[in-house]
Amino acid sequence: MSQASEIDFLDRIASDAYREAMKDVFSTCATLGLTVYWGTKGASIRISTTDRSEPLSIGWAFLEGDQWNGARHLSLGVDQSSLQQTPSVKPAVLAFVDRVKAITGAKPVQTKLDAYTFDPDAVPVAKEAIIGALEALVEAAQSHNES
């Protein structure tokens, strides 16, 4: 199976509003220095940490029908076992998850992930709050690592 890409992912979204919202989310990730890592079925959104060489996943994006550990569509949050390996960003990530949980349209992922899913109808409505949560996460992680 081939590697997914942002262009292919966006091209396969039928809804103009959802496609534009996801384009803005991916663009924000790039601007903030978050890594969008493309796998075969979708992407994980990752933040660099001082604790390990591999960045910590704080979000996932999948097309309709694909998922990982219950993360579907646009899901934001964290795998708790991975978070335990990255104490430098733990307070920032926990605050991020709390912020994401409060966004209109967030539905809890029913697995071991501490994450919330936004379906294609919810992402355009919640886009500004999602971007705000990502910005707050990066700011909090950077300020913690500088102290």
Q: What is the pLDDT of residues 51-95, one digit of tens each?
A: 999 999 999 999 999 999 999 999 999 999 999 999 999 999 999
Residue 135 has pLDDT above 80, yes or no: yes
Instruction: Assess contact for 80 and 112: CB atoms under 8 A.
Output: yes
pLDDT at 145: 61
Averaged pLDDT, 111-124: 96
HSE-CB of 116 using CA atoms within 13 angstroms? 19
Averaged pLDDT, 103-116: 96
pLDDT at 1: 55
Residue 113 has pLDDT above 90, yes or no: yes
The secondary structure of residue 87, as a DSSP letter, is G
Residue 38 has pLDDT above 60, yes or no: yes
pLDDT at 31: 97
Q: Which helix (H) or strand (E) holds 44?
A: strand 42-47
pLDDT at 84: 94
Q: Is the pTM of this model over 0.75?
A: yes
